Amino acid sequence: MKNIRTNIFNPVSPDQVDYLPDHVLSIDNGKITQICSFSDFHGSWEDQRSCICLPGFIDLHVHLSQYRIRGLYHPALLPWLDSSVFPEEQKSLSEAYATALSRDFFSALIKAGTTFSVIYTAPFREAAEAAFEVAHDMGAKAKIGMTMMDRNAPQGLLQTTGYAISNSIRLHEKWNSESLSYIFTPRFAPTCSAELMREVADYAKSHDAFIQTHLSENPDEMAWVKEIFGKSSYTEVYESLGILGPRSILGHAIHLSDPEMDVLSSSGSSIAHCPDSNFYLKSGEFPLSRVKAHNIPFGLGSDVGAGTSLNMLYHAKQMNFRQNTDPVLPSEMLYRISLANAKILHLDHRMGSLDIGKDADILFFRIPDGLYLGEHSLSQLCFSSEDFLLAKVLVDGVNRLGS
């Protein structure tokens, strides 16, 4: 049993965050067992009064295989894939390379305060297996998918449909706990055959498994999809193959018509919004007010390597900055990197906020000298996060940062 005296910001909804100054948070067996005001507390406690305390962050969309090429610039999606991404992903065929890369990646996630992530690996069984083994070894929590590509990919990365399906199913059967599980990962429509996507959709539906892919990121990509599949919209391609649903997470979804948004909404699909990546590759501005008007669930992803950082507070700030007219308040910035993502993953009974019974995945940010603690501290953290030292990262109640 551990009791920590601190100042809590707890996300509730896009419009509400509960501020609990001078409270004691109790942890037992990796779970939160009590949260009470210090004035009502009796017992010994650890002093973290100089910190503000938040739930661990959740990254809804990140490419482990691209971690080492973040910041290698190309001004558009398709040339960037050819010149930077594909040559790097090829290296992960080597298990030793994939293992070393995974170690670097999961240590960096913890240093950024990310306690759960939704990951694309390179299109090799070895790469996905290495990511799972390392995550398991380091106590990291994630959904991990081997990227699938059975057409229009360079020779060294191209899979047969059978390889993509059979290895994904094997990984899904092997890794199936709530903390560490498989997510079916057809990269995006241009590199996946209709047969592959239909098989993924059928299997995932009958096994309650998650699917992730990309949707309508860039006009050249969209034109390519129309040319290949002959459908009137990108969304219709996924809809007709059964890819959409309440366990489907679509990266980006920037350029969508109202009828496409209606389809996403009625299917229960979610969007991983990646504002930093969208402006890095000049893909476009996320249609925030229209997505909200259509009641499509969405959360934030870093999209490293097109995203430049694993720091989810940075991406929350980008969510605000990458809207020309709609302001995004700190309550929503926190919500979109925590509880919103937990709900999308159907894991809000385990994570996403600091509530009794949930996993003790908890961050402590030290308030910089000269700043006052108060309800406004969350806003200062969201917009000036580089001034706040991340002092402690608990995962299941264990500090993974070192003290």
Q: Catalog residues that contact Zn ion under the rule CB under 5 A.
A: 251, 303
403 SS3 class: coil
32: β partners = 27
Rounded CA separation 265/261 (Å) = 6
Closest separation in Å from C-beta 38 to Zn ion: 44
Closest separation in Å from C-beta 303 to Zn ion: 5
Closest separation in Å from C-beta 333 to Zn ion: 21
Go through 210-227 and write b for each residue having 16 or more CB atoms within 10 A of its CB, e for each that does not.
Answer: bbbbbbbbbeebbebbbe
Nearer CB in complex with Zn ion: 27/112 = 112
Asked if 196 and 164 touch (Cβ cutoff 8 Å), the reply is: yes
Nearer CB in complex with Zn ion: 36/72 = 72
Helix (H) or strand (E) holding 167: helix 161-174
Nearer CB in complex with Zn ion: 89/303 = 303
Nearer CB in complex with Zn ion: 251/397 = 251
Residue labelled with tokens 């293992």: 99
Closest separation in Å from C-beta 70 to Zn ion: 12
Closest separation in Å from C-beta 395 to Zn ion: 25
Amino acid identity of residue 258, one-letter, is D
Asked if 211 and 254 touch (Cβ cutoff 8 Å), the reply is: no
Closest separation in Å from C-beta 362 to Zn ion: 28
Nearer CB in complex with Zn ion: 116/365 = 116
Cis peptide leading into residue 305 (ω within 30°): yes
Q: What radius of gyration, in Å, describes the C-alpha atoms of the chain? A: 21
- The residue among 112, 102, 131, 16 whose CA lies nearest residue 56 is 112
Closest separation in Å from C-beta 366 to Zn ion: 32
Closest separation in Å from C-beta 217 to Zn ion: 8
Nearer CB in complex with Zn ion: 147/233 = 147
Nearer CB in complex with Zn ion: 191/380 = 191
Nearer CB in complex with Zn ion: 129/303 = 303
Question: Based on the number of CB atoms within 10 Å of its own CB, is 111 exposed (0-12), middle (13-18) or buried (19 or more)?
Answer: middle
Nearer CB in complex with Zn ion: 120/124 = 120
Closest separation in Å from C-beta 66 to Zn ion: 8
Residue/partner pairs of 41-50 with CB below 8 Å, 24 or more apart: 41/3, 41/5, 43/3, 44/3, 45/3, 45/4, 45/5, 46/2, 46/3, 46/4, 46/5, 47/5, 48/4, 48/5, 48/6, 48/364, 48/391, 48/392, 49/5, 49/6, 49/7, 49/22, 50/366, 50/367
Rounded CA separation 3/176 (Å) = 32
Rounded CA separation 328/199 (Å) = 39
Closest separation in Å from C-beta 305 to Zn ion: 9
Count helices and strands in the chain by DSSP H and E runs: 15, 15
At 117, phi and psi to the nearest 5?
A: -145, 155
Nearer CB in complex with Zn ion: 179/213 = 213
